[in-house]
Amino acid sequence: MKRYDCLKLLAPMVDEHTFAVTSLSTNAPFWFNVRPEGPNFFALNMGLCLPFALGLTAAFPKRKVISIDSDGSLMNDASSLITVADVNPPNLVAFVFDNSSYAFMGSTFTARRTDLAKMAQGAGIAKSGTVRTLEEFSAAAKQAIESPGPHFIVAKVEPDAGRVAADRSRTSGRPMREWFMDAVRRHPDYQGRR
């Protein structure tokens, strides 16, 4: 299973008011290509993707917040799973693309014994599972977006180093944050100053 194919399946399931947060590196340019518009926060640093999404679930309780994380990133702060379980936000959908390696660095493994879905269950996230095929991914994603969560889906993907071009001014740094804030201010649920 390839990460890009998963994200291509996911994009049409996500409506215009759904929030999405991605980890660094591969997830950011891929997701930008399949969902360039809407409230997206791209390329959070290692360990910060899931916690950032958790914060958004509190700010926008009526909307689904989708965290598009990766195994290396989540392993930087596996404790965030405990906080997610304890807060128990029904609108959080967390995907972890697990290629078992830091592929960006020429494939060094992340961990050889770890089962992230089981760690999430241990943390207390009941709706937690692993998918290995596109059919399973599609079914799990659809179910997670339509039903109350929190949901935690580990998608086992190949450690390909496939690259797609993305406009860096939309996926990193200050301009990306401005785009995100702009989308938040235009969001129908936004309660702050416009």
Partner 1 sequence: MKRLDCLKLLAPIVDEHMLTVTSLSSNTAFWSDLRREGANFFGCNMGLCIPFALGLTAAFPKRKVIALDSDGSLMVDTSSLITVADVNPPNFVAIVMDNGSYARMGSTFTTRKTDLEKIAQGAGIANTVTVQSEEALSAAVEHALATSGPHFIVAKVEPDRVRVKGDPHRTYGRFMRECFVDAVRRHPDYQQARK
CB-based contact 94:53 (threshold 8 Å): yes
Token look-up 């993305």 returns 166
| Contact status: 76 vs partner 1 (CB under 8 A) | yes
CB of 151 to partner 1, least distance (A): 15
Query: Is position 124 an interface residue for partner 1 (rule: CB under 8 A)?
Result: yes
Residue 60 beta carbon to partner 1: minimum distance, rounded to whole angstroms: 23
Residue 153 in contact with partner 1, rule: CB under 8 A: no
139: Cβ–Cβ under 8 A, 6 or more apart, which residues?
A: none
Out of 88, 100, 138, 143, the residue judged to bind partner 1 by CB under 8 A: 88
Least gap, CB of 112 to partner 1 (angstroms): 6
CA distance 100 to 157: 8
Quick check: 49 binds partner 1 (CB under 8 A)? no
| Interatomic CA distance for residues 164 and 141, integer angstroms | 23
DSSP state, residue 113:
S
* Conformational region of residue 70, where left means phi above 0, alpha means psi within -120 to 50, and beta covers everything else: beta
Candidate list 1, 11, 78, 145; residue touching partner 1; CB under 8 A: 78
Binding residues for partner 1 (CB under 8 A): 75-79, 81-82, 85-86, 88, 111-124
